[in-house]
């Protein structure tokens, strides 16, 4: 549902050697999102290709949940409709994002949000927001508190044949 809360299309958390291809996704939150948590491994050698996405949030997202590294991820031949951000890289927890490529991507940022950003790359150190999500005493992260992470690193990111309309 385009207006459902927190309804991501596909979340890939801590995956290696993964391909997502030939998908049609309509989601109210991120359409395709790569994530890493404090208890996952890194995301490496991920390919997303030949997808048509419609979303009120990010079409192609790397990070936001970014406790581990992202390496060698390829996004190609995708069409993103109605997004607030077509491409979104958010490094909040001090990881390294490197060797990420976007090619032959077209999209629009007209979902209705007041601030649309065709491409967003953000590196910010924040406190571990994971502690706010754990409310069960039996969870190993219950009550954990972490100092703010150091700012992460984004390097070797390439964009080729990108056609975006705001």
Distance CA(49)–CA(129), nearest Å, equals 31
Looking at 28-115, which runs of residues are DSSP E strands? 32-36, 43-49, 52-55, 58-66, 70-81, 85-91, 96-108
pLDDT of residue 2: 83
Residue 130 has pLDDT above 80, yes or no: no
**Cβ count within 10 A of residue 157:** 16
The predicted model gives 55-79 an average pLDDT of 96
Give the residue among 20, 9, 35 at the shortest CA–CA distance from 77: 20
pLDDT at 92 over 70: yes
pLDDT at 139 over 70: no
What's the pLDDT score for residue 131? 52
Confidence of residue 46 (pLDDT cuts 50, 70, 90): very high
The predicted structure's pLDDT at residue 78: 98
Exposed, middle or buried by CB within 10 Å (0-12, 13-18, 19+), for 76? middle
């Amino acid at each position: 549902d385009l207006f459902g809360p927190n309804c991501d299309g596909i979340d890939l958390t801590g995956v290696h050697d993964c391909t997502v291809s030939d998908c049609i996704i309509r989601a109210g939150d991120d359409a395709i999102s790569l994530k890493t948590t404090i208890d996952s491994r890194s995301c490496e050698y991920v390919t997303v290709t030949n997808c048509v996405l419609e979303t009120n949030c990010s079409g192609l997202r790397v990070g936001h949940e970014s406790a581990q590294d992202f390496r060698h991820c390829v996004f190609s031949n995708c069409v993103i409709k109605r997004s607030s951000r077509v491409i979104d890289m958010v490094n909040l927890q001090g990881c390294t994002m490197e060797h990420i490529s976007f090619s032959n991507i077209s999209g629009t940022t007209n979902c209705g949000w007041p601030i649309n950003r065709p491409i967003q790359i953000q590196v910010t150190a924040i406190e571990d927001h994971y502690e706010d999500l754990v409310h069960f005493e039996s969870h190993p992260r219950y009550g954990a508190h972490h100092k703010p992470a150091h700012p992460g690193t984004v390097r070797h990111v390439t964009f080729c044949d990108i056609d975006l309309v705001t």
